[in-house]
Structure 1
Amino acid sequence: MSEQMIKVQLPDGSVREVSRGTSPYDIAMSISPRLAAAVVVARIRPLTAVAVGMAEEDEASEASMYGAATGGERLVDLTAPLNEDVALELLKETDEAALKVVRHSAAHVMATAILELFPETKLGHGPATDAGFFYDVYRETPFTEDDLAAIEKRMAEVVARDEKFVRVEESREKGLTDYSAQGEFMKVHFIEKFTKPGDEISLYRNGGFSDFCRGPHVPSTGRVKAFKVMSIAGAYWLGDEKNQQLQRIYGTAFFNAKELDAYFKRLEEIKARDHRVLGKQLDLFSIQEVAGAGLIFWHPKGGLIRKTMEDWMRDECIRRGYEMVYTPHIMRRDLWKISGHEGFYSQNMYPPMELDDAEYRLKPMNCPGHILIYKNSPKSYRDLPVRYAELGNVYRYERSGTMHGLLRVRGFTQDDAHIFCTPGQIEGEIEDCLDFAEAVLKTFGFNEYRVELSMHDPNKAGDYVGKESDWNNAEAALKDVLTKRGVPFKSIPGEGAFYGPKIDIKLVDVLGRLWQLSTVQFDFNLPQRFELEYKGEDGELHRPVMVHRALFGSVERFFGVLIEHYAGAFPMWLAPVQVGLVPISEKHLEYAAAVKAKLEAAGLRVELDARNEKMNAKIREFTLQKVPFVLVMGDKEAASEAVSVRTRGKGDEGSVALVDFIVRANGLLASKSAVL
């Protein structure tokens, strides 16, 4: 083959020889003009990376499923020259990666509109996100809602102009000189941070607009077809309140208006399920300003649900061989130095408290306390595995701008457990933890989840404790367990805890949203730091390994997700009030009280509305509180020991014998069914 020719392999396995410098668009045109008109961006991979073994193919397939790049894979503009042998994919609007490119291009369209309307504005960065895009900008005058409307209108004009996105490369020095002269302090910072002297930098131009950017982009602004400017928020440059106050303008974009409309309908559904709104409406919890941000007050109804959750978890722990323990809320600072938290996690801990004998810190984790319990008495191999579980309160310093209802708080209850075992027991214990995690999700009504293997980044050794070989062995053990169970997973370098790799389980709620809750972590570091030992069968002392696991993650966060998943209409076994009683008039109060006593004797949580109100008003109140069953009682029901049943989501089901209703209710409690 001539040195001027390269090989391009297409997804069907066919290989084309083309001239060096041929673009993905040229290849699309050679296949079909209709294809060329439909493609958005190209994905390429060096051809030498295509011939991989079966195990690598499986891993690449999983990574592709989750949208990750593997094997030197990257997205490029359709006009990018191809100068080496590559595998090429031409991505159309059906590909998730293409949507991210559209959104990034929409951010450039928005920046174009902003500078045309408000040329004094200085630009930060404008990335695509899972929900859309944003652009950070600096302008002394705050933008108004009218300004956002004007920006969106001008964006439509930029799209209508169908300006080509053109990639231009220039020297780093020229970029710094030009941006400095323009007062673009944020662009100067990004160039200095992400490039080094002698580098070439890339800019993307459309019309008269130019921006420092790595790309890629859609072919032209006309390909940004459906978009919306959403909102604006404030932030300090580089997160420092001494710096300039920036404005972050949010938007979203989709391939077409139908998808955009569907997105806004979904937003309305999310808004209707907001746990903060429902928490107030259903009187479940509150956050009191006088007490402080990120601190949760559980009201009686929320507290009852919490008790039900915790009782189930404790009972299940004991059934699975765990021992329940309790550890203090504060411990000496020296303990956190031994564990490594003082060095690796200090920024997330509250400042030390100086007491009469030493400095103390609020605990952000339960693990050092469980380690001290393990160390308190000698252990033999016959004692292992030792499994300690605790629903322990921990405290972590979250920045004020990051807190969000129950989902991100400063004080929370972690359903923590730590397993001390021999190296030969580790895979079995991890597998049991995964089995437990699946049981938690299914019991509480989550039937779908995603799994991630969070590993260390060998290029950032200073962020972790332990030897490289220990990390590799630990990661291999976790990977083996997932593979044996046939669990698809995504590997993520750099996301491991500082003391070991972990398996993160993200549940999928009724709206398809991912929530990070359950985690199973391998730890070979803390046993060494605390010099943990057990006497082996050979009579010698050995070091155990350790598993950290949390399945709710935190009771608060799990409860917040439950509220939104069920929109406050909890399964009967979790509902704080399971049955509401409505006597038609005062003369039926005596029978209603007798019904209440029988239901409570059967183990049901019952509320009797004895107010001097109309029947329909009482029914409406129970309906607004999302009570699973409302039982109405009048003369006919009192005479026959019956109740008239109204079921949540179904309405009036007519009169049934009280004993039959109790059988039905107890069946729902036993099955923990979400369907009434």
Structure 2
Amino acid sequence: MEREEFLQVYRHSLAHILAKAVIELYGPETQYAIGPQIDTGFYYDFKLPASITEDDFPKIEAKMKEILKRKEDFIREEVTRDQALEIFRDQKYKTEIIKDLPEDAVITVYKTGDDFTDLCRGPHVDNAKELMSAAFAIRSTSGAYWRGDEKNDTLQRIYVDAFPSKEELKEHQRLLREAKERDHKKLGPALELFMFHESAPGMPYWLPRGWKLFNALLDYWRSVHERHNYLEIAAPVINNQKLWATSGHWGHYKENMFIIPGEKEDESDYYAAKPMNCPNAIMFYKNGLRSYRDLPFRVSQVDVIHRKEKSGELNGLFRVQMFRQDDAHILVTEDQIASEIADIMSIADEIYSTFGLSFRAELSTRPDDFMGDIATWDKAEAELREILDNMYGEGNYDVNEGDGAFYGPKIDLQMKDALGREWQMGTIQLDFQLPLNFGLKYAAQDGSEKQPVLIHRAIFGSMERFIGILIENFKGSFPFWVSPYQVGIVPIRTSHNAYAEKIQEELRSMGIRVEADYADKNMNEKIKRFRTLRDPYTLVIGDKEVENGTVSVTVRGQKQQIHDLPLADFCAMCRKLQVEHLKDLLTGPVGNENENG
């Protein structure tokens, strides 16, 4: 048995043990819903007479171990629909599942001992003794809507981590602790980067420090794209329904859009906050006559977009309702597709490697809710397959069947962070449909009119989401060039403020982001604040530094201080860090600075 298959059977069987344990502890009135295997273990959803808290975890785990020691068989039985409804007559959620099964469905149940039966396809282990060496631990509980629908009952979901060995479980728990320490939802506000308010759910406020970080990233992004001849535009955030009807969003994406009624009751007078930038880029393309000489026609924009999400799906910067996407839309001839996508992949490689991040590509194909004809889709998918085959070797990449956008197949860029977690960030989408919908044309070399192909692409994806990932990847200690403030200045007494102001102005003139605390308060209190905010360098200014024209430097992450460093030398060091990064932006990829900048 392959490891993945083994883990699925192992974890799914333990899910039944958990359900049995919960029923024995909380009584026969317990309603149990579903308990699938997931990447690191499993979960099970319950309706219980009492809320489960972290204090309850040890007794549930102890009961699971007690049940395993009974060494009970897992017995599979096929039953009729009527038999299944009788078995689960007191179980609301199981009954609902049974009634929704197709008429010809084979219904199976698994019995564990004489007192627990679950509706399940299996497979499972033959006997609980095979799970005796199981290494498992309850990780958390949360609320979960039955079948993911907020109109349904709220259930208690118990998450359990489960691995074949104690060593694997311990390593997983270590990574969980590390991830908790890196949690951007805690670090972001603590570092004064962003905040949320109930008046705008899922719509972040960028605080001054966070906005400096945001703009440092945006400046870098712009410098890369200028080298690749992109034209940046800004466009309206709200557009009339007619634009979205033509693009297909009104028919395929309306439930995710913020709709604004117009003066008339007719839908044609409605407006919507844009969920995507592509129709705006198309309007720019149509604002003039285009020929083959204009192609590739590369349009970039970082406008605010809005997408309506369910409240339970919002997650810090990772899942928001308002964000800025580093979008680009490129109009090309068919014979330019391969070279243009290769250029996009080179941009992605350059940008991700700047942050020390790696990525891999996945192909996503035609979804059920697609727009256009199948022949066009087949052609677009074949184009992308050939490109990936040439880049990675035939078939040496993952394919997500049915996960494409409604208007075209796509290549998704899966990025790996410092903890080895993968994030879907960049995307490259090939689209023959929108150029047809909007009647896009260009004058070909032979004088005829032809239709261009549209490539949608983003590298950061959502700027907000990318920053959330960066916060966790760097644990809030950003490389020097992208840190919100790069230098903090601490004058020991107010008599040292004048020299501190001189240093601040000199560094600012070099483009260094610098902050100073001129308040008449304890020096250690000032230093602690800059340390907490993780400025790469903190300068301490006292009598000796003023007299000698020097600075004492505390380097982020280091305990020892550098004393009496000539101011000119420190400025030269900052200039080198900043200028070398900017110089590298003009010529190609740059390396990632270490923790200390």
How far apart, in 1, do the equivalents of 2:412 and 2:73 lie?
42
Alignment of 1:366 with 2:277, yes or no, is: yes
Among 373, 393, 397, the residue aligned to 1:489: 397
Find the counterpart in structure 2 of residue 130 from structure 1.
39
Structure 1 residue ranges without an equivalent (≥5): 1-41, 43-90
Which amino acid is the alignment partner of residue 329 of structure 2? H
Find the counterpart in structure 1 of residue 122 from structure 2.
215
Find the counterpart in structure 2 of residue 205 from structure 1.
111
Alignment of 1:456 with 2:362, yes or no, is: no
Aligned 8 A contact 1:333 1:352 in 2: no
Among 262, 283, 292, the residue aligned to 1:381: 292
Find the counterpart in structure 2 of residue 106 from structure 1.
14
Find the counterpart in structure 1 of residue 334 from structure 2.
423
| 1:407-441 deviations in Å (ceiling 9; x for gaps) | 11111111111001111111111111111111121
Secondary structure of 1:441's counterpart equals: helix
Aligned residues with identical type, % of pairs: 42
Shift of 1:606: 1.4
Higher mean C-alpha displacement, 184-193 vs 271-280: 184-193
Among 498, 518, 543, the residue aligned to 1:590: 498
How far apart, in 1, do the equivalents of 2:259 and 2:494 lie?
59
Aligned 8 A contact 1:280 1:286 in 2: yes
How far apart, in 2, do the equivalents of 1:269 and 1:143 lie?
25
Find the counterpart in structure 2 of residue 403 from structure 1.
314
Find the counterpart in structure 1 of residue 436 from structure 2.
528
| 1:312-343 deviations in Å (ceiling 9; x for gaps) | 11222222111111111111112111111111
Which amino acid is the alignment partner of residue 218 of structure 1? V
Secondary structure of 1:568's counterpart equals: coil
Find the counterpart in structure 2 of residue 432 from structure 1.
343
When residues 97 and 591 of structure 1 are mapped into structure 2, their CA distance, relative to the original with a 3 A threshold, is: farther
Aligned 8 A contact 1:171 1:199 in 2: no
Shift of 1:279: 1.4
Higher mean C-alpha displacement, 424-433 vs 183-192: 183-192
Shift of 1:553: 0.5
Among 98, 102, 108, the residue aligned to 1:191: 98
Find the counterpart in structure 2 of residue 668 from structure 1.
577
How far apart, in 1, do the equivalents of 2:208 and 2:511 lie?
18
Shift of 1:190: 2.6
How far apart, in 2, do the equivalents of 1:242 and 1:293 lie?
19
How far apart, in 1, do the equivalents of 2:384 and 2:210 lie?
36
How far apart, in 2, do the equivalents of 1:567 and 1:498 lie?
36
Among 528, 532, 537, the residue aligned to 1:620: 528
Find the counterpart in structure 1 of residue 188 from structure 2.
279
Aligned 8 A contact 2:259 2:270 in 1: no
Which amino acid is the alignment partner of residue 506 of structure 1? Q
How far apart, in 2, do the equivalents of 1:378 and 1:266 lie?
56
Alignment of 1:255 with 2:174, yes or no, is: no
Higher mean C-alpha displacement, 183-192 vs 463-472: 183-192
| 1:492-528 deviations in Å (ceiling 9; x for gaps) | 1011011111111121111111111111110111111
RMSD between aligned alpha carbons? Answer: 2.0
Following superposition of structure 1 onto structure 2, how do residues 441-590 of structure 1 map, counting pairs within 5 Å?
A: 441-446=352-357, 448-457=358-367, 460=368, 463-486=369-392, 488-590=396-498
Find the counterpart in structure 2 of residue 414 from structure 1.
325
How far apart, in 1, do the equivalents of 2:29 and 2:160 lie?
21
How far apart, in 2, do the equivalents of 1:241 and 1:627 lie?
43
Which amino acid is the alignment partner of residue 454 of structure 1? S
Shift of 1:552: 1.0
Structure 2 residue ranges without an equivalent (≥5): 582-589
Aligned 8 A contact 2:40 2:163 in 1: no
When residues 436 and 355 of structure 1 are mapped into structure 2, their CA distance, relative to the original with a 3 A threshold, is: farther
How far apart, in 1, do the equivalents of 2:519 and 2:344 lie?
49
How does the TM-score come out when normalised to structure 2? 0.92
Shift of 1:550: 0.9
Aligned 8 A contact 1:173 1:197 in 2: no
Secondary structure of 1:573's counterpart equals: helix
Alignment of 1:232 with 2:141, yes or no, is: yes
How far apart, in 2, do the equivalents of 1:246 and 1:600 lie?
55
How far apart, in 2, do the equivalents of 1:600 and 1:594 lie?
10
Shift of 1:636: 3.2
How does the TM-score come out when normalised to structure 1? 0.81
Following superposition of structure 1 onto structure 2, how do residues 67-216 of structure 1 map, counting pairs within 5 Å?
A: 91=2, 95-117=3-25, 118-145=27-54, 147-179=56-88, 182-193=89-100, 195-208=101-114, 209-216=116-123
Secondary structure of 1:516's counterpart equals: strand
How far apart, in 1, do the equivalents of 2:128 and 2:454 lie?
54
Aligned 8 A contact 2:426 2:460 in 1: yes
Aligned residues: 575
Aligned 8 A contact 1:172 1:198 in 2: no
Among 300, 303, 328, the residue aligned to 2:236: 328
How far apart, in 1, do the equivalents of 2:149 and 2:319 lie?
21
Secondary structure of 1:553's counterpart equals: strand
Following superposition of structure 1 onto structure 2, how do residues 312-323 of structure 1 map, counting pairs within 5 Å?
A: 312-323=220-231
